[in-house]
């Protein structure tokens, strides 16, 4: 019979669990050497910060590509339906770019408000640090 589908819900959940476990293990496998080689918590936090900065740049680039994809779809459309879909894609691309740039602006505003420079330590002042067996106040 055409168009009939039979599926076992337990099999679907089993595959979903297997995929989630495999993904988690691969993520742990990728980041374990970096975390293990980090000498201090500060090194680990710097690595995570650099990773997130690169990820944000990737998302901004992706949003710009989506915007231009919608623009090309709009310009090359022959029918009104394709033109409308291109406008929707451009709209969501602009919204994504706006949100990401706004978050960058809010972070910069908070940095200026609390006088946090780009090269200040990650650990807040007043948090005791243990260096070489001795305790000292934060940087």
What pLDDT, on the 0 to 100 scale, is given for residue 136? 53
Structure tokens at 27: 């993520």
Residue 117: which residues within 8 A CB-CB, separation 6 or more? 111
Answer yes or no: are the C-beta atoms of 79 and 116 closer than 8 Å.
Answer: no
Q: Where are the alpha helices (DSSP H) in the chain?
A: 9-37, 41-75, 80-113
Percent of the chain with pLDDT over 90: 9
Phi and psi at 40, nearest 5°, equal -140, 175
Answer yes or no: are the C-beta atoms of 85 and 108 closer than 8 Å.
Answer: no
**pLDDT by residue (tens digit) across 32-88?**
766 666 667 777 777 777 777 788 888 888 899 999 998 988 888 877 777 888 899
């Amino acid at each position: 019979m055409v168009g009939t589908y039979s599926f076992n819900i337990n099999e679907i959940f089993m595959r979903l669990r297997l995929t989630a476990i495999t993904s988690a293990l691969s993520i742990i496998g990728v980041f374990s050497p970096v975390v293990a080689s980090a000498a201090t918590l500060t090194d680990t936090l710097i690595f995570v910060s650099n990773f997130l900065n690169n990820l944000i740049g990737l998302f901004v680039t992706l949003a710009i590509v989506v915007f231009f994809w919608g623009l090309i779809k709009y310009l090359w459309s022959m029918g009104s339906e394709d033109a409308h879909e291109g406008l929707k894609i451009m709209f969501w691309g602009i919204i994504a770019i706006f949100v990401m740039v706004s978050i960058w602006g809010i972070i910069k505003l908070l940095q200026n408000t609390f006088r946090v420079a780009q090269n200040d330590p990650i650990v807040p002042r007043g948090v005791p640090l243990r260096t070489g067996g001795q305790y000292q106040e934060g940087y």
